[in-house]
Amino acid sequence: MMKIKYSIPILLLIMLGCKKENSESKTVFPVNMYLEKAEIISDTKVYTKGGQLNDLQKTTELMWIYTRYFSLEQNLENVGQQYLSLISKDSVTFFNMHSPYVIQRTGDRLIMTSAIQFIASKPMLPDQLYHHVARYQNIKSEGDTEISRDVRLAYGNGFSELKIPAFAYVTSSRIEGPVSGLNRRGGLVINEFNEEVLKRIGERDTIIVKTYSLTVKAR
């Protein structure tokens, strides 16, 4: 009979791997997770073609109806409320979404992609700044059609606690042409802010952004 010899480091790795598998196999789904807190990672910043803008009055004017997204750390209304439910290790639903998201795990990073598709005609989607604010996206082009899915992000090694990156944003672009006007978009995105979008800012564009880290825990 052939004897297999293991070194101590290899044995430790095997034991740790088995321990993790046993821990995950014992998890009873669904796992409901509740919002513990919202922390500021980077405070409100305003960017124009000329760089960062330090004008409080201008910032307030541009934020318009989206102001509420820039004060999550002060809004305690949702703290303690259910934020998401892990249906399985590969699927999750959020408190405000009935459709599940598929989880793709890489190390401690969870990329969660919605099962719902959004379909739009490309001529209806000019290259506006708000299309590029999220770092992780799922967008496919088929002829004159663009198909996209909502992508959300979280970090964690198990099923007891997750750190969720989020950012509040407003994009403001003045459009010139047959139909001119101000195109303003904003909201709260469960994703990482894509700093590459700052390279796309034009002469008539403004971006406001504030980044957060949300902590959710299982109960």
Q: Is the pLDDT of residue 161 over 80?
A: yes
Q: Which amino acid is at 4?
A: I
Q: For all residues of the chain together, what is the average pLDDT?
A: 86
Report pLDDT for 178: 64
6 found inside a domain: no
To the question of pTM greater than 0.75 for the whole model, the response is: yes
Number of domains in the chain: 1
Q: Which domain holds residue 97?
A: 30-218
93 phi and psi angles, rounded to 5 deg:
-125, 150
66 found inside a domain: yes
135 found inside a domain: yes
Residue 14: exposure state from Cβ atoms within 10 A (0-12, 13-18, ≥19): exposed
Please tell me which residue, 74 or 153, carries the higher pLDDT value.
153
Helix (H) or strand (E) holding 158: none
Residue 78 structure tokens: 């949702």
Residues 26-69: tens digit of each pLDDT = 789 999 999 999 999 999 999 999 899 887 777 788 787 899 89
Q: Is the pLDDT of residue 215 over 50?
A: yes
Residues 98-111: tens digit of each pLDDT = 899 999 999 999 99
Q: How far apart are CA 126 and CA 171, in angstroms?
A: 14
